[in-house]
Amino acid sequence: MSKRGYAASKKLLTGLIGAPIAHSASPAMHERAAEALGLRGHYQLIEVAGADADGLRMMLEGVRRLGFAGVNVTYPYKEAVVPLLDELAPGAAAMGAVNTVVVRDGRLTGHNTDTTGFARAVAPLLAPSGNAVAVIGAGGVGKAIAFALASLNVTDIRVFDSEPARAETLVSLLAAPGVARLASSIEDALQGATGLVNGTPVGMLPNRGMPVPATLLHEKLWVADAVYSPLITPLLAAAQAKGARIMTGRELAIYQAADAFELFTGLAPSTEVMGEAFDEVMAARSSAYHAA
């Protein structure tokens, strides 16, 4: 919809499909961004666990018919929604994962702003050349991370997943030969690596696990985590203790949300406003956690 269209309607209905999502900062970010642009925005959490293809199809049909400008999609449905959409943007089609569905003229189009968001977030950590990055997890987020790294000309991406077939599929999807390789173990992925990215939900509250043993972390490695609840995951805390540079999930959360908002509305939101909303949510959550 054009800027004029949204300015006239002053209403914006968007949302998030996934499970578990009660912790999500997306409602605050999207609604605050809408308010700053003079819109009355509502961001609806659509939490349904264990949905099969028919269940997802019903949810998407509701999104199509109920006036949504679009929805975000998160774990565990980023890949499952792909065959249920009317069309895919080229990037989403290439990786087979969607985190943003835009509704236009009754048609659902899938995009992936995890890729664009992560590329914006991770760029400052990369050296001008010679980057070797271990990506742990080859699901929806892992795919987006690997494609983002490839878009930044990282030519040594090591992919590990506890399900080797998923990692093998991701490696084959990256168009340029030799850009990525299948790692046989986490140790193999980290051998000589300059960076590490966790693309799994391991470490997301209430889980307190680590996707990588602390013994493999060191001060010459930068470590990023897609998880943002908590902001300092067990992995990042262990990396900090070893003197490694870290990147929390904050920037990815904000940039992917901003890119999705722009797809929904045609309007560029303030990442500063979205960041303030994100920080308020995280501060409130931290206070509640320590009070419990």
Closest by CA to 244, choosing from 172, 183, 195, is 195
Q: How far apart are CA 261 and CA 126, in angstroms?
A: 27
Residue 137 CB-half CA count within 13 A: 23
State whether the Cα torsion 101-114-140-27 is positive or negative: negative
Closest by CA to 230, choosing from 250, 257, 211, 259, is 250
Among 3, 10, 11, 78, the active-site one is 78
Q: How far apart are CA 43 and CA 15, in angstroms?
A: 5
Q: CB of 13 within 8 A of CB of 44?
A: yes
Rounded to 5 degrees, φ, ψ at 7 are -65, -35
Rounded to 5 degrees, φ, ψ at 5 are -60, -45
**Is residue 11 flagged as an active site residue?**
no
Strand pairing partners for 101? Answer: 71, 110
Q: Which residues are catalytic?
A: 78
